Structure formats: C-alpha cells, structure tokens
Amino acid sequence: MTDALIVSMRRAVEAAPDDVVLRLHLAELLVGAGRGDDAVTHLGVVLAAEPRNSKAHDLMTRAVGGAPSHAEFDWQEAENDLRALP
C-alpha cells in the first residue's frame, strides 16, 4: 500500500508542484519507506519556500541519516543543489 500511496502523492506533487503540504507529505512517506535520498529533493524545495519549517528540518535530518557535523557539511554543494531545483 505504501508504494501505491507514494506513486499517488508523486502525481499530486507533479500536478501541484508549489503545494508545500503535498510535497512535505510525500517526503514523509519516502523517509518512512527508507527512501531518504528521494525525500531530500522534495524537502529542499519545501525548505527553499519555507526555511523555518520545523517538520521539514526534522524530516531532512532523518532523510540524511542524522545531522552531519558542521565541519563535514559542504555548504557550497548544498547551495548548488538547491539552485538546481525546479
């Protein structure tokens, strides 16, 4: 059932790409299904629109398997990734 729901949510996000609530729900489903890599892109879009969204921050931490140390995080790469988002 989760895969069918994820497919359905992906379609909903494709139809309404600016809908932050839909995108956040899709990301939550992806993280819950162990597909954090897929969720990161969606969470990046949410955080670009709503930088203080605490749920998106929490999900992003889970999606990447915990919070990286500040010294290890490549801020330039993250900025480039966000610029590449639709």
The SS3 of residue 18 is: coil
Instruction: Return the pLDDT at 66.
Output: 67
The SS3 of residue 17 is: coil
Distance CA 44, CA 39 (A): 9
DSSP one-letter code for 68: P
pTM: 0.74
Q: Do 26 and 9 contact (CB within 8 A), yes or no? A: yes
Share above pLDDT 70 across residues of the chain, in percent, rounded to a whole number: 90
Instruction: Return the pLDDT at 71.
Output: 56
**For the segment 20-53, what is each residue's pLDDT rounded down to a tens digit?**
999 999 999 999 999 999 999 999 999 999 999 9
Q: Tell me the fold of 2-83.
A: 1.25.40
